[in-house]
């Protein structure tokens, strides 16, 4: 039996989970799922704590999100340089130790009754600084734990892990908050970070793939910017990700307000809404992980457009259970977009520059979300929760259309073909890429 045949059989056997064939990736994935569950539990507890400390102030909730993600703008490229120069496995161990210490501090403050909203702000900022340094190593380590042919799958499984945790974590947090309060939830997150540190220490450096380090030189940040500017497809992808993150992905700011102020529900019901959204994102992540082909710009534009339209569609749903159900497809298209964009950029760059390019990608992705969250909070205060949701969806859809037109211009224009067969159908093309629907069979064109 040839190596190729063995590989095909293994791929067929493991399917969507084929990256788990590799021991190093299994260790990382096992640690990541527990750490991610803890992270999502802390997010729910933190949101609930802030709402309790500020009497349901939406702007304060947006400020916490802003402080937690804005450091990516200033320190993201520092994290990228660290990812390109140093061992990512070691970087992640140190940053997770910082996460554990931050979560434990917030838990102790909460349990002792010393916590104030200003303490939450300070610790959110500290956590944001740690995440800014960690993110480039975290998002790019998958390409070192599996061979290149399985990178898309590994990226998808990482997102699946994150979103499985997004499904499980809020549900657990909602129950625990109602029973024992928010303080112990923060301590559980600290313990989950210790768990991933242990498993990261067990990864075998000899079984890593494509580990290229860059020597310390001047101008390496400028070099990354020049590299990205020379790749129009990466520029357009980052621009689209920025728009979607600024408007659409700040749905997380609106959902707790929908739970408490539109449907007048408690912590457990808020956790259920968060879990409904997470169920959709998990499905979207698994769909992305199951792809065997490289993502294309076409799928990014279409999934971003669908995400915006779905957000508009759920804005005025007046029934709690229908809203919870409708969050599932919203989650599917949002995560399919995120995975496609992430994998597209990772596979489009060289390994020696991947850390810096992914840092730039994360700067725009996380930074846009950070700057957008106070705006979304302000929109809910001025226009109301439902109008704010509709406005964010419309802005996301219009951004996707705009990027699609820019893409069409670069690739040679936009045209529509109508085909007449037994069943008439339509094709939409951007340049040489067929946007909708994807078909291989030849057909007779009608002019």
pLDDT digits (tens, 9 = 90+) for 10-32: 444 557 788 888 888 899 989 99
Given this model, what pLDDT does residue 2 score? 46
- Averaged pLDDT, 266-295: 76
422 and 340: one domain? no
Residue 19 is given by DSSP the state: G
261 and 332: one domain? yes
- State pLDDT tens for residues 243-277: 999 998 888 788 888 888 888 887 778 778 877 88
Chain CA centroid to CA 336, Å: 10
pTM over 0.75: no
160 and 251: one domain? yes
274 and 416: one domain? no
Given this model, what pLDDT does residue 210 score? 60
343 and 436: one domain? no
Domain count across the chain? 2
Average pLDDT along the chain: 80
Domain hosting 175: range is: 15-207+219-411
- DSSP output for 299-355: HHHHHHHHHHHHHHHHTT---HHHHHHHHHHHHHHHHHHHHHHHHHHHHTS-TTTHH
- DSSP output for 242-300: HHHHHTGGGHHHHHHHIIIIIS---HHHHHHHHHHHHHHHHHHHHHHHT--SPP-HHHH
Distance CA 68, CA 64 (A): 6
85 and 172: one domain? yes
Q: Is residue 128 included in any domain, yes or no?
A: yes
Instruction: Give percent of the chain above pLDDT 90.
Output: 23
Q: Is residue 7 included in any domain, yes or no?
A: no
326 and 382: one domain? yes
177 and 61: one domain? yes
Q: Is residue 123 included in any domain, yes or no?
A: yes
The model's confidence at residue 214, banded by pLDDT at 50, 70 and 90, is low
Q: Is the peptide bond before 437 cis (omega within 30 degrees of 0)?
A: yes
Given this model, what pLDDT does residue 218 score? 63
Given this model, what pLDDT does residue 282 score? 77
Q: Do the Cβ atoms of 22 and 146 come closer than 8 Å?
A: yes
Please give the span between the terminal C-alpha atoms of the chain, in angstroms, as a whole number.
Answer: 51
Stated as kind and residue range, the H or E segment containing 419 is strand 414-419
Q: Is residue 4 included in any domain, yes or no?
A: no
433-436 sheet: strands from edge to edge:
414-419, 425-430, 433-436
Stated as kind and residue range, the H or E segment containing 397 is helix 385-411
Given this model, what pLDDT does residue 437 score? 45
272 and 391: one domain? yes
- Other C-beta atoms closer than 10 Å to the C-beta of 46 total 26
337 and 440: one domain? no
356 and 407: one domain? yes
Q: Is residue 135 included in any domain, yes or no?
A: yes
Q: Is residue 214 included in any domain, yes or no?
A: no
Distance CA 211, CA 359 (A): 17
The model's confidence at residue 174, banded by pLDDT at 50, 70 and 90, is confident
Q: Is residue 235 included in any domain, yes or no?
A: yes
What are the tokens at 5? 């045949």
Q: Is residue 176 included in any domain, yes or no?
A: yes
382 and 444: one domain? no
Instruction: Give percent of the chain above pLDDT 70.
Output: 83
Collapse the DSSP code of 445 into the 3-class scheme (helix H, G, I; strand E, B; otherwise coil) and give the result.
strand
- State pLDDT tens for residues 356-392: 788 788 888 877 877 888 888 888 888 888 899 999 9
Given this model, what pLDDT does residue 292 score? 65
pLDDT at 222 over 90: no
Domain at 86, CATH number = 1.20.1250.20
- State pLDDT tens for residues 64-104: 878 887 787 778 778 888 887 788 888 999 999 999 999 99
């Amino acid at each position: 039996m040839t190596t190729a045949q063995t590989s095909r059989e293994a791929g067929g056997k493991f399917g969507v989970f084929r990256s788990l064939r590799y021991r190093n990736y299994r260790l990382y994935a096992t640690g990541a799922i527990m750490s991610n569950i803890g992270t999502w539990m802390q997010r729910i507890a933190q949101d609930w704590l802030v709402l309790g400390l500020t009497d349901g102030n939406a702007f304060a909730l947006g400020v916490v999100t802003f402080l937690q993600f804005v450091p990516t703008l200033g320190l993201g490229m520092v994290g990228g340089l660290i990812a390109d120069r140093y061992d990512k496995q070691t970087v992640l161990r140190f940053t997770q130790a910082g996460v554990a210490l931050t979560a434990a501090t917030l838990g102790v403050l909460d349990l002792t009754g010393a916590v104030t909203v200003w303490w939450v702000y300070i610790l959110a900022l500290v956590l944001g600084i740690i995440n800014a340094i960690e993110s480039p190593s975290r998002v790019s380590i998958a390409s070192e734990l599996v061979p290149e042919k399985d990178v898309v799958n590994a990226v998808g499984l990482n997102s699946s892990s994150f979103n499985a945790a997004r499904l499980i974590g809020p549900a657990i947090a909602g129950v625990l908050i109602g029973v024992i309060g928010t303080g112990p939830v923060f301590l559980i997150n600290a313990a989950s970070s210790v768990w991933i540190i242990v498993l990261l220490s067990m990864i075998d450096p000899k079984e890593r793939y494509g580990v290229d380090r860059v020597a310390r030189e001047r101008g390496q940040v400028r070099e990354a910017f020049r590299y990205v500017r020379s790749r129009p497809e990466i520029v357009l992808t980052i621009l689209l990700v920025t728009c979607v993150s600024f408007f659409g992905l700040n749905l997380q700011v609106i959902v707790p307000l929908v739970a408490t102020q539109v449907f007048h529900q408690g912590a457990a019901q808020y956790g259920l809404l968060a879990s409904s959204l997470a169920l959709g994102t998990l499905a979207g992540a698994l769909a992305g992980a199951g792809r065997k082909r490289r993502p294309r710009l076409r799928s990014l534009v279409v999934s971003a457009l669908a995400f915006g339209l779905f957000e508009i569609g759920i804005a005025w749903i007046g029934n709690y259970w229908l809203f919870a159900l409708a969050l599932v497809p919203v989650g599917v298209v949002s995560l399919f977009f995120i995975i496609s964009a992430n994998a597209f950029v990772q596979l489009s760059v060289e390994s020696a520059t991947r850390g810096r390019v992914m840092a730039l990608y994360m700067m725009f992705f996380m930074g846009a979300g950070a700057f957008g969250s106070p705006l979304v909070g302000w929109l809910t205060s001025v226009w109301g929760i439902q109008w704010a949701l509709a406005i964010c969806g419309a802005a996301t859809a219009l951004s996707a259309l705009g990027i699609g037109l820019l893409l069409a211009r670069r690739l040679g224009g936009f045209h529509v073909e109508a085909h007449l067969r037994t069943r008439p159908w339509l094709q939409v093309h951007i340049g040489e890429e067929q946007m909708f629907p994807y078909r291989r069979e030849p057909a007779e064109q009608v002019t």
